[in-house]
């Protein structure tokens, strides 16, 4: 498969890149500050997204994994929220993935490919314990984007999966998180292998458990 993974310099993105390469796939990873063979991408910048699409060219794309994201309001109290905090969260976590899908739609359609959004259970309306308003709202919006795209793209043979990677021991999740990157990646790879148009649009935990919206 031809695979493109955003945010592949560390954590879950790096883990997925390594796992898919080990399985023999042709995988391209991106990073805001590229290292080694990673391609540059600032998904808050439409010009950067356009440049990435031009560099990719007309090669059919079997799998687009929208992994890059930020959690910029951890433990932030409501009076301290600013317009910039909200704008950064939505630009990175929602607008960027939406623009990426638009930019790569022709090559995804050519492959009858798949799109994966790494959302979060924190975006579930059914699980609303409070706090982290910008992160939760942006991940809820990403879930909504994925659900609607799954309907609109099904006729083109493009399937969309929305997954919660678990609470993972990464820079974002912290050392006290529940599972390792390897556990998360193994589960996500299994979910991606199952993804097809007949089950498009599902919101699942990395282990396959459905997450309530």
Catalytic residue among 135, 163, 206, 213: 135
Contact call for residues 9 and 39 (beta carbons, < 8 A): no
Contact call for residues 92 and 43 (beta carbons, < 8 A): yes
Sign of CA dihedral 77, 82, 83, 85: negative
Does the annotation mark 81 as catalytic?
no
Tokens read off for 132: 């982290």
Tokens read off for 179: 């599972």
Greatest Cα pair distance, the chain, in angstroms, is: 50
In angstroms, the CA 192 to CA 178 distance is 22
Tell me which residues are annotated as active site.
135
């Amino acid at each position: 498969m031809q695979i493109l993974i955003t945010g592949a310099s560390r954590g879950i993105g790096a883990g997925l890149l390594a796992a898919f390469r080990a399985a023999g796939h042709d995988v391209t990873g991106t990073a805001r500050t590229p290292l080694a063979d990673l391609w540059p991408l600032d998904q808050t910048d439409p010009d950067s997204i356009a440049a990435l699409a031009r560099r990719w060219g007309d090669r059919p794309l079997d799998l687009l994994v929208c992994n890059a994201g930020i959690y910029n309001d951890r433990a932030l109290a409501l009076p301290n929220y600013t317009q910039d905090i909200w704008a950064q969260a939505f630009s990175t976590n929602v607008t960027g993935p939406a623009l990426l899908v638009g930019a790569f739609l022709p090559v995804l359609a050519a492959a009858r490919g798949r799109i994966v959004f790494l959302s979060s259970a924190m975006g579930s309306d059914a699980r609303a314990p409070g706090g982290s308003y910008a992160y939760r709202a942006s991940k809820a919006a990403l879930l909504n984007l994925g659900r609607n795209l799954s309907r609109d793209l099904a006729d083109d043979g493009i399937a969309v999966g929305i997954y919660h990677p678990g609470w993972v021991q990464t820079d974002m999740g912290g050392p006290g998180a529940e599972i390792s990157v390897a556990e998360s990646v193994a589960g996500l790879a299994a979910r991606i292998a199952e993804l097809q148009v007949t089950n498009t649009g599902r919101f699942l935990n990395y282990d396959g458990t459905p997450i309530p919206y």
